[in-house]
Structure 1
Amino acid sequence: MTQQPPKFTRTKAWLLTDTPDSAFQAASGRFYLGLLEFFRNKLAVIGLIIIVALILTALFAPQIAPFDPVITDLANRLQPLSGDHWFGTDEMGRDIFSRIVWGSRLTLYVILLVAVIAAPVGILVGTAAGYFGGAIDTVLMRITDIFLAFPKLILALAFVAALGPGIENAIIAIAITSWPPYARIARAETITVRNSDFIRAIRLQGAGPIRIITKHIMPLCMSSLIVRVTLDMAGIILTAAGLGFLGLGAQPPSPEWGAMTSAGRAFILDQWWLITMPGTAIFVVSLAFNLLGDGLREVLDPKSDS
């Protein structure tokens, strides 16, 4: 009797076959090969682990944080690192470790909302400009150039100054300044494929511009857009921290990392942990998104040399 190969071996052979029987099998095979390529990049895996840890920290902040992040305890103000307060306490006696843990929620909140707002706007503007061309392309790209002409933080400061301080206004300001690079990428991808044979065939079948853009062109732009969004997460974090540092982001007593860094600068010489701990959190998370973005670029970018 012929012995059957192990289930894992059969699954691997099914994924790696050169003659897939369905679109699902072909997509599964590409996904599996992409995972193998991604996990060969050790730095990208480290970035992914840090981001997963950030998400879990934000989800289970009430269980992880040993103290309330906003209740003051002046009797314990400016305490150094100890067994009770792992990262010390701030000028109001609040546990810095607990505030960093709760601050991870604000960080993810900003990242997700900015991505949800900016990426769709950018891909919509870019694909419309690239597909229609002419006057529409000129107008949309000149508007994009105006936004790109200003440094992101300076432009965000201007919008926050107009809207008023607060985390929601900071998110709106960062989103307004974040969409132009996505529009540029989507436009370039659209120009590449708009005159392709399959687009002509779809047009001959009676599909209108909206259907062609949303159903056929936008999906082709997603891989490049995902890479760019992931790489931009670090910039979003730094911009949000910069606004918080200047007092224009989340307002006290919210445990926002940039605001914590700003409050700690008055004590940097003697109580170094007040500025070092939230600053390190900003650095580590920003680095993690850059490492993850580089790994995704190697996997998703068909023009990559790797």
Structure 2
Amino acid sequence: MTTSPTSAPARGLRAYLTAENPASRRQAQLGQFYRQWRALRANPLALIGLVIVVALLAVAALAPWIAPHDPLAQNLGQRLLPPSAAHWMGTDALGRDIFSRILHGTRITLAIVLLVVISVGPIGLLIGTLSGYFGGVVDTVLMRLTDIFLAFPRLVLALAFVAVLGPGIENAVIAIACTAWPPYARVARAETMVIRNADYIAAVRLQGASHLRVVLRHVVPMCVPSVIVRTTLDMAGIILTAAGLGFLGLGAQPPSPEWGAMIASGREYIFDQWWVATFPGLAICLVALGFNLLGDGLRDVLDAR
């Protein structure tokens, strides 16, 4: 019986990744990633979410080349046209191609999500780990501050920040970031309160490690998987908040093709020209669904318990 030339190297790589006794830290890390990928691959819904997220990234990167029309070009002679071969999702009140605007709108949505996550994740992780590790007065002060932010609905608090800062994408990102960090801090605090009593943390302390080194080198890495899961699940809420600000005219300003603003401009035509507001709304629902499905799958894979 003959085997293909690639089967032996494939078996060798699989054996390397699934070894019960890794020879190095790198091998152990690669093996862990491989097992997590296999667990994620076994979840069909998580794969669907991953495909949606990857498609969002691809569309955002290739929007200028795959969009059939200029998203900002106006043509009043073709205003409010229904979906057709020339305009797959119809045109809006100014004759702009809705499909092209949705494709370019993925860039705005992805930029808002990434900027918020980059700023919120480390802040919430740092506050949560410090609160859970030191406890006492530090925990009381930081958690009461967190409770103050949690007491207000996110969109209402974001509206208050935007009202002070003014409309615009940059201010919308700042407003969403200021309201999105408390759940991350709560998750990190809960994880830290369990980790700080572990035997290996006590051993590190006995070796003379400072509190800062213990937190940054040993506590934070253990909290990162939970924060990643929370981040993925929270992206849908960030998208909805950004769309809500855009719908109210406080996010991206015209003529930017932001999905919430597109829904706002099409709400007065919802009964007769339904496509103007429907397709941007479907885009928001699809992307939010993709992040939620991927987040559920990552939670099952990364949860140590």
TM over 0.5: yes
Paired residue for 1:56, among 32, 55, 58? 58
Identify unmatched segments of 5+ residues in structure 2: none
Q: SS of the residue aligned with 2:81?
A: coil
* Amino acid in structure 2 at the alignment position of 1:186: A
Q: Which moved more, 1:293-302 or 1:203-212?
A: 203-212
**1:264-279 matched pairs, under 5 angstroms:** 264-279=266-281
For 1:214 and 1:29, locate their aligned partners in 2 and report how far apart those are by CA, in whole Å: 24
* Amino acid in structure 2 at the alignment position of 1:18: E
- Cα deviation, residue 170, structure 1: 0.6
- The aligned residue for residue 286 of structure 2 is 284
Q: SS of the residue aligned with 2:181?
A: helix
**1:9-88 matched pairs, under 5 angstroms:** 9-88=11-90
**1:149-188 matched pairs, under 5 angstroms:** 149-188=151-190
Q: Which moved more, 1:225-234 or 1:205-214?
A: 205-214
* Amino acid in structure 2 at the alignment position of 1:105: R
- TM-score normalised to structure 2 length: 0.97
- The aligned residue for residue 116 of structure 1 is 118
For 2:217 and 2:203, locate their aligned partners in 1 and report how far apart those are by CA, in whole Å: 14
Q: SS of the residue aligned with 1:6?
A: helix
Deviations 1:251-299 (A, max 9, x none): 1000000000010001011100001110000000000000000010010
* Amino acid in structure 1 at the alignment position of 2:39: E
Paired residue for 1:199, among 189, 198, 201? 201
- Cα deviation, residue 211, structure 1: 1.1
For 2:30 and 2:107, locate their aligned partners in 1 and report how far apart those are by CA, in whole Å: 33
Deviations 1:9-34 (A, max 9, x none): 11111211212111211221111111
- Cα deviation, residue 131, structure 1: 0.9
For 2:299 and 2:246, locate their aligned partners in 1 and report how far apart those are by CA, in whole Å: 30
- The aligned residue for residue 94 of structure 2 is 92
Deviations 1:189-211 (A, max 9, x none): 11111122211221222211111
**1:218-229 matched pairs, under 5 angstroms:** 218-229=220-231
For 1:260 and 1:208, locate their aligned partners in 2 and report how far apart those are by CA, in whole Å: 53
* Amino acid in structure 2 at the alignment position of 1:114: V
For 2:44 and 2:135, locate their aligned partners in 1 and report how far apart those are by CA, in whole Å: 42
- The aligned residue for residue 143 of structure 2 is 141
* Amino acid in structure 2 at the alignment position of 1:274: V
- TM-score normalised to structure 1 length: 0.96
Deviations 1:54-101 (A, max 9, x none): 111110111011111112111111011111111000000000000000
Q: How many residues align?
A: 301
Q: SS of the residue aligned with 2:11?
A: helix
For 2:53 and 2:219, locate their aligned partners in 1 and report how far apart those are by CA, in whole Å: 30
* Amino acid in structure 2 at the alignment position of 1:172: I
- The aligned residue for residue 297 of structure 1 is 299
* Amino acid in structure 1 at the alignment position of 2:20: D
* Amino acid in structure 2 at the alignment position of 1:292: L
- Cα deviation, residue 126, structure 1: 0.5
Paired residue for 2:235, among 233, 236, 251? 233
- The aligned residue for residue 215 of structure 1 is 217
For 2:23 and 2:61, locate their aligned partners in 1 and report how far apart those are by CA, in whole Å: 41
For 1:91 and 1:60, locate their aligned partners in 2 and report how far apart those are by CA, in whole Å: 26
Q: SS of the residue aligned with 1:274?
A: helix
For 1:15 and 1:51, locate their aligned partners in 2 and report how far apart those are by CA, in whole Å: 27
* Amino acid in structure 2 at the alignment position of 1:183: A
* Amino acid in structure 2 at the alignment position of 1:291: L
Deviations 1:105-159 (A, max 9, x none): 0000000000001111000100111111111110000000000111111111111
Q: SS of the residue aligned with 2:262?
A: helix
- Runs ≥4 in structure 1, deviation > 3 angstroms? none
- The aligned residue for residue 107 of structure 2 is 105
- Cα deviation, residue 223, structure 1: 0.5
For 2:42 and 2:304, locate their aligned partners in 1 and report how far apart those are by CA, in whole Å: 17
What's the C-alpha RMSD, in Å, of the aligned pairs? Answer: 1.2
